[in-house]
Structure 1
Amino acid sequence: MSGRLFVVGLGPGNPDQVTPQASAAVAGARFFYGYKPYLDRLDLRPDQLRIASDNREELSRAEAALTKAAEGETVAVVSGGDPGVFAMAAAVCEAIEAGPKAWRDIDIEIVPGVTAMLAVAARIGAPLGHDFCAISLSDNLKPWDVVERRLIAAAEAGFVIALYNPISKARPWQLGKAFERLRAVLPAETLVIFGRAAGRTDERIEIFALGEANAEKADMATCVIIGSRETRAIERGDRSPLVYTPRSLASQ
C-alpha cells in the first residue's frame, strides 16, 4: 500500500508566514526529511521523526523520502521558502521520473510557501510590480557561462532580477562577477536590494545603486533583487523609501 508524500514550503523563516496548509501537512506527517536548519523550525510531537541531511543531498533525500512513503507511511519533505523555487519539489519529481514504478503511485502533494523574493519585495515596496525573473547564481547544477548569459539576457529584456544563492564560502566570487556583467548592461543608478533574513529577527534590508553595490553585503541568507531601468524609489523623510517597478512601461 502506497503512502503519502507532502513537499512542504515553510516560508522564509518567520512563523507567521507559514501557511495553514503547510501547518496541516506537518501535523499529518510522521517522517520528516530535510536540511537540518529547516527541520529545526518544526515543533514536532514525540511520534514524529526528523531525518536530517546536508544541503547538497537533495536527490538522495528525495529518494529516501519516497522509499519511506512507498512503505505506506505519511512523509514530509521540508524546504524553506517555496518548495518549487530552487528547492525540493523538483528534486522529488526528478527522483520519481528516474525511480521505480511504485513511486509513481504515491499520493504527492506540493504545499506552496512564501519564497524569499516575495518576502524581501514586501518589506521594501513592490519591486516585482512589473515583469521579473529569478536566477540562481549557484553553478552546482549548471555552468557559470549559462548563468552569465541568462543574467545579461534578462537585464537587456528589462526584467527585474531576483538572485537566489548569491554567495557562499565555496562560491565567494560569483555575485561580484554578476554585478560586473550587469554594470555593462544597466545604468549605474539601477537600484539593488539586499534582503537578508526577511521577516526574521536578524532581518537586514539595504538599498544601493548598482554602481556601488558590494557583493560582501550578501550571504546565503540573502536574496538580491536588481531593479530594471523602470524601478524607482519614493523617498519618505524619516521612513524607509518605497521601492517599486511601475505596472506600465514608459514609452521607449
Structure 2
Amino acid sequence: MSGRLCVVGLGPGAAAQMTPQALDALAACDELYGYGPYLDRVPVRAGQARFASDNREELDRASAALERAVAGAKVGVVSGGDAGVFAMAAAVCEAMEKGPDPFRTVDFEVIPGITAMLAVAARIGAPLGHDFCALSLSDNLKPWPLVEKRLTAAAEAGFVIALYNPISRARPWQLGAAFELLRQSLPGSVPVIFGRAAGRADERITLATLADADATIADMATCVLIGSAQTRMVERPGLPPLVYSPRSAP
C-alpha cells in the first residue's frame, strides 16, 4: 500500500515564520528530502532519515521521494518559502505526471509557507498593496526572450513585480539587463527593494530607485521588488522610509 508524501514550505528562514502546520507535518514524516541548507532548518527528530541533494536536482529528488512513498513510507519534501512558488511542489507534480503509474496513487499534500516576496514586502511597508506578479529571472527552464517579454508586459500593465532567482554565478548579467529593460517602460523614480534573507540574522533590506538600482548587490538569497508607476515612497523623520502601492488605481 502506498504511503504519504507532503511537500512543505519552510518559510523565508526565521523559525518564527515556519507555520505550526508545517512543523506538525515534518514531525510526522519518516524521511525528509531536500536541499541541504533547507533541511538544516528543520528541527531534528530521533529516528527520522534525511536525504540532502543539490538545489539543481529537483526532479531526481521528487522521484526518489515518490518511490519511497510508493513503498509505504511517510515522506516529506522541503522547500524554502512556499512550496508552490518556484519550488518543489511543481517538481513533485511533474514527477507524478512523467513517472510510473504507482506515483499517482500516493496520498499527496502541499503545506504552504510564507514566500520570499511577502517577507520582503512586510519589512518595507506594503509594496504589494495593489496588483502584482512574480517572475523568475532564471532562464534554466525557459528562454531569456520570454523573460524579457513577460517583464515588459508586466511593467506596461502596471503590475508591481517580484523577481525571484535574480542572479547567480552562472547568470551574473540578467538582473542588470532586466533593470535596463524596465527603465524603458517605467519612471526612474519607481522604488526598488532588494530583500536579502528577509527575517534571518543576516537580513539586508536595501531601498533604491529604478534609475540608480545596482544589480550587483543582489545574490540568489535576494528577492527584488520593483514598484509600479503608482508605488509611493513615504519619508519618515528619523525612521526608515515606507514603500506602499495604493489600493486604488487611477
Q: 36-45 or 163-172: which moved more? A: 36-45
| Corresponding residue of 1:82 | 82
Counterpart in the other structure of 1:163: 163
CA distance in 1, matches of 2:231, 2:74: 45
What is the rounded CA distance, in whole Å, between the counterparts of 1:121 and 1:180 in structure 2? Answer: 23
Letter in 2 for 1:193: I
Two-structure CA RMSD over aligned residues (Å)? 0.6
Cα distance in 2, alignment partners of residues 156 and 122 from structure 1? 25
Alignment of 1:21-170 (within 5 A): 21-170=21-170
Distance 2:114 2:104 in 1: 27
Query: What percentage of residue pairs aligned between the two structures are identical?
Result: 69
- Are positions 1:192 and 2:192 aligned together? yes
Structure-1 residue corresponding to 2:216: 216
1:241 corresponding residue in structure 2? 241
TM-score by length of 2: 0.99
Aligned equivalents of 1:134, 1:45: Cα separation in 2:
35
What is aligned with 2:2? 2
The TM-score with structure 1 as length reference comes to: 0.98
Distance 1:27 1:77 in 2: 12
* Structure 2 residue aligned with 1:175: 175
Q: Which runs of 5+ in 1 are unaligned?
A: none
Q: Which amino acid aligns with 1:213?
A: A
In 1: Cα distance, 2:40 partner to 2:19 partner: 17
SS in 1 for 2:211: helix
Structure 1 moving runs of 4+ over 6 Å? none
- 1:226 corresponds to 2:221: no
Q: How many Å apart are 1:70 and its aligned residue?
A: 0.3
Unaligned runs of 5+ in 2: none
Structure 1 residue matching 2:147: 3-state secondary structure: helix
Distance in 2, Cα, partners of 1:44 & 1:196: 26
Letter in 1 for 2:106: I
1:7-30: CA deviation from partner (whole Å, max 9, x where unpaired): 000000000000011000011001
Q: Deviations over 1:151-203 (max 9, x none)?
A: 00000000000000000011100000000100111011111000000001111
Counterpart residue type for residue 43 of structure 2: D
Aligned residues: 250
Measure, in 1, the Cα distance between the counterparts of 2:98 and 2:167.
31
Which whole-Å deviations, capped at 9, do the CAs of 1:16-63 have from their partners, x for residues lacking one?
000011000011001110000000111222200110111100000000
